[in-house]
Amino acid sequence: MSAPPPRILIVDDQRDIIRLIHSTLDTLGHKFEIYEAPSGEEALLEASRTQIDLLIVDYRLPGMTGVELMKRIRAKNETFKTIIITGMTDRGARDEMLSAGAVAIFDKPIPLGDFLDAVERSLGLRRTILPPEDSTTPGQHKTLANLLASYRQDMGAEAIFLISDRGRVVVRAGDLPDSSMEVSLMSALAGIYNTSWKIARFIQQDTAAGLHVFRGAGQDYLMVPVNTAHALLAVGPGLADRDRLLEVTDTLLILQGDVKKVLKDMGVATQTLESVMRQRAADAAEPKPSAEPTPEPVADELAELLAKKKKMKTDELNEFWEEIIETHGPVPVDPGKLTYEQASKLGLAPDIEAGGKKKK
């Protein structure tokens, strides 16, 4: 017997927001039972009737906050998850939401890709918005995961990711402290990673050997390229502090070499920038097959005339070209060649008498 579909309760006093969230959930390939409520009191009544798996709630509600609603529902249901929608940017309020157990917090307007990914993660569903790369066998995946987990401990990082140039997570050790924006973050980092290869080309580097450091509010992010298709990302508090940055960077570069070796053993291509650019240039220079040109109607009729070897008088030639233009439209003129009329005006063509004979 198959498990019942996840039950989701959407709570917001704005009907437009509820409709947006409901229609967005409908775009996922998963089946849900979706309930709606415009206030905290009606949400409590709905939650008393149905065992909710996921609460999607606005922080500001008439009568009570979304955090208060979450706590009151949890008194009778400890297993449900909560995603909070808010317009507040105050760090204290966001810390309150996370401390209360929210799995994700989104500002308005809602980033739909990150929102849908948070829904899949919170319900333990197959991830379709940010799926893992299917590039390793289970045994090889375990080897890379163990490698990342070991270095994560050595670095004191919250998480280490091996990501692809498309912004997909290949292997992870740990998770982001707040994974609400993981989709957007990985996409942005992939853009920076790809730009680093372009810069390497401009400054005539054979490989992209850059280090990207981002100091965040409570978390630092360090990224180094591994090869033309992968990069390493380390996340954690204080990783970019002056007294730690050099040591953390050295450790990350050692991990880079170990990951390169594992990927090479797995048969994953690790081309240099020079070879990639050379291949792209070769692909661009390769002639493309062209279709057989269709003979022009004018050319066919000229060929027929030539085959007959018929000598035509000037007036007959004029009639011929007038008929061709009337039937097929104006004849295209090669801009690099002169017409007979242009040649005559320049004195480059022989004069022809009315009977078709050359004047003496």
pLDDT-based confidence at residue 273 (cuts at 50, 70, 90) = very low
Give the model's pLDDT for residue 342: 56
pLDDT tens for 33-51 read: 999 999 999 999 999 999 9
Number of H helices, E strands in the chain: 12, 10
138-284 architecture in CATH? 2-Layer Sandwich (3.30)
Within its chain, how far is the Cα of 321 from the centroid?
57
Give the model's pLDDT for residue 207: 67
Cα angle value 238/101/107 (rounded, 5°): 75
pLDDT tens for 68-122 read: 999 999 988 989 999 999 877 677 788 888 888 899 999 888 888 899 999 999 9
Please state the domain extents for the chain. Answer: 7-122, 138-284, 297-345
In the predicted structure, residue 286 carries a pLDDT above the cut 90 = no
Give the model's pLDDT for residue 300: 55
Q: What is the DSSP string of 60-129?
A: B-SSSBHHHHHHHHHTT-SS-EEEEEE----HHHHHHHHHTT-SEEEESSP-HHHHHHHHHHHTTPPPSS
Confirm or reject CATH 3.40.50.2300 for domain 7-122, answering yes or no: yes
**0.85 exceeded by pTM:** no
Do 150 and 217 form a contact (C-beta atoms < 8 A)? no
Q: What is the average per-residue pLDDT within 159-163?
A: 93
Give the model's pLDDT for residue 243: 93
pLDDT tens for 186-245 read: 989 988 888 888 888 788 776 667 889 999 888 999 999 988 889 999 999 999 999 999
DSSP secondary structure code for residue 289 in this structure: P
Q: Considering only residues 272 and 190, tell me which one the structure prediction assigns the higher pLDDT.
A: 190
Mean pLDDT is highest, among 146-150, 190-194, 292-296, 349-353, for 146-150
Distance between CA atoms of residues 221 and 160, nearest Å? 10
Q: 42 vs 12, 142, 319, CA distance in Å?
A: 11, 47, 90
